[in-house]
Amino acid sequence: MLEKLFSPQAIALIGASSHPEKIGHEILQNLITSGFKGPIYPVNPKPGEILGLASYPNIKAVGKPVDLAIIAIPADYVIETLRECGECTVGSAAVISAGFRETGHEGLLREIEMAKIANYYHMPILGPNCLGLIDTITPMNASFAASMPLKGEAAFMSQSGALCTSIIDMSFAIGLGFSRFVSLGNKAHLSELDFMEAWADDPDAKVVMGYLEGISDGARFMDLARRLTKKKPFVAIKSGSTSAGSRAVSSHTGTLAGSEKAYEAAFKQSGTIRAGSIADLFDFTEAFVMQPLPQGDRIAIVTNAGGPGIMATDAIERNGLRLAALSSDTMNSLLAALPPAASVINPVDLLGDALADRYKEALGLVAKDQAVDAMMVILTPQTMTQAEDTARAVVDISLESKKTILACFMGDKNLKAAQKILKEGRVPNYIIPERAVAVLKVLCEQKKWQDTPVQTYERPNIDKDQIRAVIDGARKGGRSELAEAEARQIISSCGVAVPTSKLCKSQQEAIDFAEEIGYPVVMKVASPDILHKTDIGGVHLDIMDARAVRDAFDLITFRAQRYMPDAEIWGCLVQKQIKGDGEVIIGMNRDPQFGPLVMFGLGGIYVEVLKDVSFRIAPFSKDEALEMISEIRSSGLLYGVRGSRRLDIDAIADTLIAVSNLVTEFPEIVEMDINPLMVFEEKRGVMGLDVRFVLKL
């Protein structure tokens, strides 16, 4: 769909200008100097030449096929012009002009019109309110960015145009090149989703980078990201994720920023790598572009200085990576090769007087060790240090070895030449050990993600007809909140056990049922009109005998009639009182961007005070459900600590995926929770005690 946008044969610039201070001039100049090989048609109402090219009064007047129209004219004329482009079968368009949703409602309506035109004419439209796009492969600079970035293997998109200018400028400093560089603007038609889709199969894009403020369609984002990230790394900054930041986003563009928790879950579940800053974006991308992914997380450090070796070691431990335990063969060979004061235990310390050949020999030995997955070469510029020769040695080893190598040549002025050699030899350099380790961490995660098979989302059997009937019944009655019996019926239909219970219309019926199921029992008022039963004394616990059942029945119905005289009272619900071995909570609400966000936590204070909960976006797999359970801090309590037995983790996970499935199938459920879900010892299952559902009416 984006071929015409990225590989146009001919480009028209509508709004081309001969005034050097106009954007329409700048873009034309960029188009010409970028080396674009096809014809460029400047369009301007005034006749004449611009920058040596014949100008056309309008797009129709061009009279030749145009694959890409760049539009840089006042907002008022954009829609009309786009329609003309459509009529002339222009292949694609990029609207640079501002003055759309960022200025208010009328602007938003214009964008809706724009999307209609794009769909009607099958003419993809980038923008509006963007910097344009750059393609170093074609090549073409269809933007008003001051410089064209270096050619390279990273594809970049940004929802902030201004950030593009900073990113290009910074990219020169580290020598990072781009294949494609896109300013998304207001995303009236094309959004990050289209580029994620296009770049998944683009051989020129080894890494996809993004700066995102809001995401256009959470569910499609997840699908596309999952597909993309199994093939190549997708590194993204998501800003506006704190509450203060979201307010700033709203004043900046029109996108509603999803909640931070939903984003975290979405990125994690889709293998999207979250960059905390532009520094992360660059650092991660450099390594992905230049080096292979490590096979595992065992890191060897080779250094000419103890201090930085320790810093790296600290960082490795903090990041959950492992310091490789070198084989005794390797250590013996190192012992033979290195001076006696050197350390042959990882971190391998070559000492301050290490010359390039000592680095080369040691690195070669370490690289061959089966117990090493990745290497970090640290160099401090000491008196005898041969920085450039050492850089060449590192590059040689990197070319020979299939293992990941990152350099940490710690310095600036004295190491510039060496750092250049490393970069040209495709060994990324980080002057701070902690940065190199942060990068290794991300490389390991990407490898693990790519190796994990695509998750399948189990669809446990749920009785859809029954659930549909319950939901429709409530909606017909105009009730957004389900009555207890209805809620229990729904989760039963999903295969979640609920306590034995019966709606009893008389004292005697209640006593008979209680005797049948055995004490203790719980009794609750049964009424479609009473939702907050506890508030009116409508719930009695610990009922131990027939007399207590009788008393409870009368008290409950008497009070219900007194406090809510208009309520229809069906009687009392009598229920077996359950004592579990543990209590958990499963909840769900709908995130505006990603849809059903399922929460898991232990009951009571663990959720309320400690906020010790985990989230996933439904649907998710059983493996993901098990991860959800294990990642809360208090999960130890479920696995059996302090002499307590392990609880039925498997049954909790099954309940989580049943909920995942339910809320995916029934989008009218906007909120639900099972609180508590009683959990028994291993193999003994779970039971949903209280269940609450809120429907969209």
Q: Which of residues 225-264 bind its own copies (CB under 8 A)?
A: 237, 239-245, 247-249, 251-253
- Shorter beta-carbon distance to its own copies: residue 337 or 432: 432
Peptide bond into 233 cis (omega under 30): no
Q: Which of 115, 219, 337, 432 binds its own copies (CB under 8 A)?
A: 432
- Rounded CA separation 436/316 (Å): 10
- Shorter beta-carbon distance to its own copies: residue 278 or 485: 278
Query: Binding to its own copies (CB under 8 A): which residues in 173-232?
Result: 173, 211, 213
* Residue 335: CB minimum distance to its own copies, A: 14
Q: 184, 199, 262, 188: which is closest to 235 by C-alpha?
A: 199
User: Phi first, then psi: what are they for 134, rounded to 5°?
Assistant: -130, 140
* Residue 157: CB minimum distance to its own copies, A: 12
* Residue 566: CB minimum distance to its own copies, A: 30
The residue length of the chain stands at 697
Q: Which of 1, 162, 256, 544 binds its own copies (CB under 8 A)?
A: 162
Residue 166 within binding range of its own copies, rule CB under 8 A: yes
Q: Which of 35, 172, 472, 508 binds its own copies (CB under 8 A)?
A: 172
Query: Binding to its own copies (CB under 8 A): which residues in 352-381?
Result: 352, 380-381
DSSP at 403: S
* Residue 94: CB minimum distance to its own copies, A: 16
Q: 664, 599, 586, 610: which is closest to 265 by C-alpha?
A: 599
* Residue 479: CB minimum distance to its own copies, A: 29
Q: 662, 674, 254: which is closest to 484 by C-alpha?
A: 674
Pairing of the two strands 374-379 and 298-303: parallel
Residues in the interface with its own copies (CB under 8 A) total 88
Query: Binding to its own copies (CB under 8 A): which residues in 557-616?
Result: 604-605, 608-610, 612
Residue 451 within binding range of its own copies, rule CB under 8 A: no
Residue 150 within binding range of its own copies, rule CB under 8 A: no
- Shorter beta-carbon distance to its own copies: residue 387 or 662: 387
Q: For residue 527, give every residue at least 6 positions away whose Cβ sits within 8 Å of its Cβ, in sequence order, or none.
A: 483, 560, 564, 567, 568, 569, 570
Residue 434 within binding range of its own copies, rule CB under 8 A: yes
- Rounded CA separation 534/540 (Å): 9
Query: Binding to its own copies (CB under 8 A): which residues in 6-45?
Result: 21, 23, 26
According to DSSP, the residues that pair with 37 across neighbouring strands are none
- Shorter beta-carbon distance to its own copies: residue 116 or 252: 252
* Residue 212: CB minimum distance to its own copies, A: 10
- Shorter beta-carbon distance to its own copies: residue 41 or 430: 430
Query: Which residue type is seen at 540?
Result: H
Pairing of the two strands 539-543 and 322-323: unpaired
- Shorter beta-carbon distance to its own copies: residue 169 or 515: 169
User: Binding string, 476-515, against its own copies, x = CB under 8 A?
Assistant: ----------------------------------------
Query: Binding to its own copies (CB under 8 A): which residues in 298-317?
Result: 304-311, 313-314, 316-317
The answer to whether 318 and 299 are in contact (CB under 8 A) is no
Query: Binding to its own copies (CB under 8 A): which residues in 102-131?
Result: 102-103
Q: 159, 150, 158: which is closest to 178 by C-alpha?
A: 150
- Rounded CA separation 10/499 (Å): 71
Interface segment toward its own copies; rule CB under 8 A; list 6-14, 160-168, 476-484, 509-517: 160-168
- Shorter beta-carbon distance to its own copies: residue 418 or 496: 418
The CA–CA distances, whole Å, from 443 to 289, 374, 422 equal 11, 10, 19
CA-based angle 494:500:501, to the nearest 5?
A: 105
Instruction: Provide the 3-class DSSP secondary structure of residue 481.
Output: strand
- Shorter beta-carbon distance to its own copies: residue 17 or 239: 239
Query: Which residue type is seen at 80?
Result: E
Half-sphere exposure of 145 (CA within 13 A, CB side): 27
Interface segment toward its own copies; rule CB under 8 A; list 426-434, 547-555, 581-589, 678-686: 426-434
The CA–CA distances, whole Å, from 185 to 4, 247, 664 equal 19, 18, 32
Query: Binding to its own copies (CB under 8 A): which residues in 264-293?
Result: 276-279
- Shorter beta-carbon distance to its own copies: residue 371 or 469: 371
Query: Binding to its own copies (CB under 8 A): which residues in 315-344?
Result: 316-318, 323, 341, 343
Residue 433 within binding range of its own copies, rule CB under 8 A: yes
Q: Which of 37, 46, 413, 579 binds its own copies (CB under 8 A)?
A: 413
* Residue 321: CB minimum distance to its own copies, A: 10
- Shorter beta-carbon distance to its own copies: residue 399 or 605: 605
* Residue 334: CB minimum distance to its own copies, A: 14
Query: Which residue type is seen at 15?
Result: G
CA-based angle 507:497:596, to the nearest 5?
A: 120
Instruction: Write out the E strands in 176-297.
Output: 178-183, 207-212, 234-238, 273-274
- Rounded CA separation 554/57 (Å): 89
CB atoms within 10 A of CB 93: 31
Output Rg (C-alpha) for the chain, integer angstroms.
32
- Rounded CA separation 108/117 (Å): 14
Q: Which of 371, 431, 539, 578 binds its own copies (CB under 8 A)?
A: 431
